[in-house]
A and B are shown apart, each in its own frame.
Chain A
Amino acid sequence: MGELFQEAILVSILAGMIRIATPILFAAIGELVTQRAGIWNMGVEGTMLMGAFTAYFIATATGSVWLAVLAAMIAGALVGLIIAFMTVTMRVDHFITGLGINLLVAGLTLYWFRMYIKGRAQPTFDGFDNVAIPGLSAIPFIGEILFDQRLLTYMAFAAVPAVWYLLYRTRWGLELRCLGENPKALDIKGLSVSARQYAAVLFGSVMTGLGGGFLMLGFSDRFLADITAGRGWLAIVALIAGNWMPRGVLAAVLVFALLESVATHVQVLGIDVPHQIFLALPYLASILLLMGLRRQSRQPQRLGIPYFR
C-alpha cells in the first residue's frame, strides 16, 4: 500500500472519529451536568432518539436544518421535563424512569415515523456541510482532521471547557456539584433542590437532544427506527469511564468514536474479517473499560438517590 494512501486513510479515520464523537459528546457533556447534580439519568438513549426523530421531521417538513436543530433541542427539553418530573418530583427510581423513557420514545418515534411516511416514499433532506476554519484548516494533516468539520462539531468540543468552567469556576457549578454530593447542604440554606435538579436535567436533555439532532443531520439523510444504536448508552459509559470529569469524559468518547470510525473504514482497509466484529468494538470496549475501572471512582455520593427532606 502506498504511503500517501495510508496517510489519507489515517486522516479519514481520525476526521471520522471527530465527527462520530460529536453526538456522543453532546450527550455525555450534557449528562455530566445532570449526573453531577445527582440525577442518574438512564433515559439518554431515548432522549437522543427523540432529538433525532424531531430533527428528521422538521428538516424534511421545512427544509431548514437549523430549525431542525432547534426543534431537536426543544424535543430534548420536553423529554427532560418528563424525566425531571418523575425523578425529582415523583421520586421514581432513576433507573426505572430512564428505562421507561427509552421504551416510550422508541414506541412513540416509531409510531410517528410510520404515520409520517404512510403511503409515500420516505422523504429525505440535505444535511450539514463542512465549515472549514480559514487558516487552521490549511495546516497539513491536523487541519484536515480537526478544522474541516461541521459547525456543530466545533460547538460540541467547545462545550467541554465551557462545562468545565461552569462546574468548577462558577457559583452554579458549586451548587450543582453540591447537589450530587449532599443536596441537604443546599436545602438547609433554603435553596430549592428541586429547581436546580430540574435545571440540570433540562440542560443535559437539551444537549442530548442536540446530539440526537446532529446524529440525524450530520450523518444521514433519512430516519431509521433504531438510529441511535446505543450511542446514548455509550454516553453514560463515557461518564463512568471518565470518572465524572470533563477531560476523562472527552477521552472516553474519543475512544468509542475511534473504534466506530475504524469499523466504518474496514472495507477500505481491506481486512478480511466479519464486519460485525468491528461494529461490536465500542460495546465490547465499554464493558472492558468498566471492568477495569472499579475502585477509583469519583462518582457523586448521592447519584441516583432521590432526595427526601
Chain B
Amino acid sequence: MTTILRTVNLTKRFPGVIANEDVNFDLQKGEIHCLFGENGAGKSTLSSCLFGFYQPEGGSLELNGEPVKFRSPRDAIHAGIGMVHQHFVLVPDFTVLENIVVGTHEHGWQLGLDEARKRVASLCREYEIDLEPDALVRDLAVGQQQWVEILKALYLGAKVLILDEPSAVLTPEESIRLFRIISHMKELGLSIILISHKMVEVMQSDRVTVLRKGKVVGTVCPDEVTPKELTRMMVGRDIELRVVRDRSNKEAAKEPVLVVGGLSYRDTRDNLMLDQVTLTIGRGEILGLAGVSGNGQKELFEVLSGIIVPGSGNVTLAGERIEGLPSRHYMDRGVGLVPDDRFREGLIPEFGIQENMILGWQRHDDYTQGPFLNHKQIGTIAEGLIDEFRIKAPSADTPVNHLSGGNAQKVILAREFVHSNKLLLANQPTRGLDLGVIEYVYKQIIAKRDEGYAVLLASEELEDLLNLSDRIAVISGGRITGVVDPENTSIEEIGLLMAGERKEAAE
C-alpha cells in the first residue's frame, strides 16, 4: 500500500469558526476511506480543501509524498482528484454530455462533442454505468444524475474520487448498486474518500477517520470497532441513539383529524408530482412519510398547508373540506408547518427572533394594539418561548441568520406549536441537526402527539421513522406505494416501496 494523499496539520477557518483544525489524514492507494462525523464536524470542508475549492490557512497537503498546493479545483483535477458534491452541480437544461464536457478545455474553441461521446461511452463500459449521453439531465432520475456527477470526475481522469454523502438521495436499492460500483472502482485501482454519517456505509469501508468539531478524533478499521464505539467517537459522549419506542393511544387514533382523498398535483412544468394520494391521520397519531426526497413529499406538505392548490382530490380537516383554500385558512384552523428548507420557507433570516415568532400571525390580536404592532407584548411572549424551547441567542432581537441550524429550527417549532392545535406537518425536521438537537426535536413532537395532535412526519432517516411512527406511508413518484406497520415491517420492505413497487391491498 502506498499513501496517495496526505494532510499534515491542515487548518481552515471561516469568519468566526474554525472548520478544520490540525487535521491529519491519509489516503492509501486503492482503499475506501470514510470520513465520518456529525453535521458541521468539518467533513465537507476537509474534502473541499483536498479538492482545491477552499485553500487551507495552515498545514500542508502531500500528493504521492510530494508537497502540493491546490490553488483551485483545476490544480486538484490536474493532480487526478475528482469530487462528487452532495448537492449535485449540474445544469438541468444541458445534456449529460454537455454537463460532462463543460469546462474541460480540451478542444480549443470547439465543442468536440463527438470525441467526448466516444470517451464517455468507453468509461460507461469500463465502470458498468448505464446512461444515455444525449438525454437532458432534467429528465433523469436523481439516482441517474449521480452517475453523471461520477462520470464528470472520471472523464477528467480522476484517480482519487471524493464522494460527499452519495447515498443521501438514493433508494436503499440504488445505494446497494452504488456501493457495488464503488468496490468495482476500487478494484480498478481508484482510491475513494467517502463522506457519510450512515453506519451501514461506514462499515463497508476499509478505514474510517472520525471528525468532531473540526478535529480528527481518530482513524480506525471498521471491523475493529463496534458501531456504538464509533458513535461515541463521533458525538464525544454516550448518547441514547434513538428515541425509545413509545406508541400512542390507539383508541384516540381512530378519531380522524386529517383525511386526504385522491389528491393530485401537477407543477408548472406539467410534471405529475402527486398522483391520487390518499391518507388518514388520527388524533394523537404520528404518520411517518418515507421516501427518497423529490418524490412528492414537498408538494404533499405544500398542499396540506394550503400553499399550493391541488389539481384534484380533497382534504378534510376535522370534518371540514378545506382543499384549495389559501394557507391562512389552514393556519387559522390549527395546522402547524415545519418546512424542510427552514431558512427559505420558515424564517425571515434578517428578522430578529421575536419578529420570526409572529411570522404569519402579525395581524393577530395578541400582537397588535389598534392598528399598531405591540412590540412590548411580542417581546415578552418571545422571551418566554426562548426560555421554554432553550433557544441559545444573545437576545430576542438577534437576527435568526446568526443562529445555528438547531436554534433556528427551535424558533420555527416554538412558533408553530404555539399557533396550532390540531395538525402538525413536519417535513425533515431534523435534517442537518446535531444528534442532541434531533433528540430534543423528536421529544417535542412526541409531546404534541400526546396532547392529541395528528402529526405527519417525513424523514430520510428510516430508523427514526420506524421508532417514532404509528404507521408509515411510503411515497414514490408522487404515489403512496404502501402504508406499513412499523412493528411488522423491515427496512427491505420499505426500500422496495420507496423504489416504487406497490404494496397490494394496503391497510
Contact = CB atoms under 8 A, between A and B. Distances in A.
Nearest to A302: B91
Contacts of B93: 181, 298, 301
A188 B98 CA distance: 15
Given A189-B73, A191-B105, 15 more contacts: A169-B111, A170-B109, A171-B109, A175-B103, A178-B94, A181-B91, A181-B94, A182-B89, A182-B90, A185-B90, A185-B103, A186-B103, A188-B89, A190-B76, A309-B53
Contact of A178 (B51, B103, B108, B268): B103
B104 interface: yes
Given A170-B111, A171-B109, A181-B94, A188 B53 contact: yes
A228 B89 CA distance: 41
A295 B268 contact: yes
Contacts of B103: 175, 178, 185-186, 189, 191
A174 interface: yes
Interface of B: 51-53, 72-77, 83, 85, 89-94, 98-99, 101-105, 107-112, 156, 268
A196 B91 CA distance: 17
A301 B137 CA distance: 14
A135 B148 CA distance: 53
B316 to A, nearest CB: 31
B109 A172 contact: yes
A184 interface: yes
Contact of B105 (A171, A177, A178, A295): A171
A175 B98 CA distance: 10
Contacts of A191: 74, 103, 105
Contacts of B112: 171
Main secondary structure of the interface of B (DSSP, over half): loop
B72 to A, nearest CB: 4
Nearest to B72: A190
B77 A178 contact: no
A93 interface: no
Contacts of B74: 189-191
Given A174-B101, A178-B103, A190-B74, A185 B109 contact: no
Contacts of B75: 190
A188 B83 CA distance: 9
A117 B221 CA distance: 83
Contacts of A186: 102-103
A178 B111 contact: no
A187 interface: yes
Instruction: Select the residue from B83, B89, B156 with max chain A CB neighbours within 10 A.
Output: B89
Contacts of B104: 189
A186 B90 CA distance: 10
A177 B111 CA distance: 13
B102 A178 contact: yes
Instruction: Select the residue from A172, A187, A295 with max chain B CB neighbours within 10 A.
Output: A187
Contacts of A185: 89-91, 99, 102-103
B19 to A, nearest CB: 14
11 contacts: A169-B111, A170-B110, A171-B112, A175-B102, A178-B103, A181-B92, A182-B91, A184-B89, A185-B102, A189-B77, A190-B72
A190 B73 contact: yes
A308 to B, nearest CB: 13
Contacts of B101: 174
Given A172-B109, A185-B102, A178 B73 contact: no
A189 B98 CA distance: 14
A203 to B, nearest CB: 15
A42 to B, nearest CB: 24
Contacts of B111: 169-171, 174
Interface string A179-220: 001101111111100000000000000000000000000000
Contacts of A182: 89-91
4 closest Cβ pairs, A-B complex: A190-B74, A190-B73, A189-B103, A190-B72
Instruction: Select the residue from A177, A190, A301 with max chain B CB neighbours within 10 A.
Output: A190
A174 B109 contact: no
Contacts of A169: 111
A295 to B, nearest CB: 6
Contact of B85 (A172, A177, A188, A190): A188
Nearest to A181: B91
Contacts of B102: 174-175, 178, 185-186, 189
A295 B269 CA distance: 9
Interface in A245-275: none
A174 B110 contact: no
Contacts of A188: 51, 53, 73, 83, 85, 89
A184 B88 CA distance: 10
Contacts of B108: 171
A278 B493 CA distance: 70
Contact of B91 (A171, A178, A187, A298): A178
Contacts of A174: 94, 98, 101-102, 111
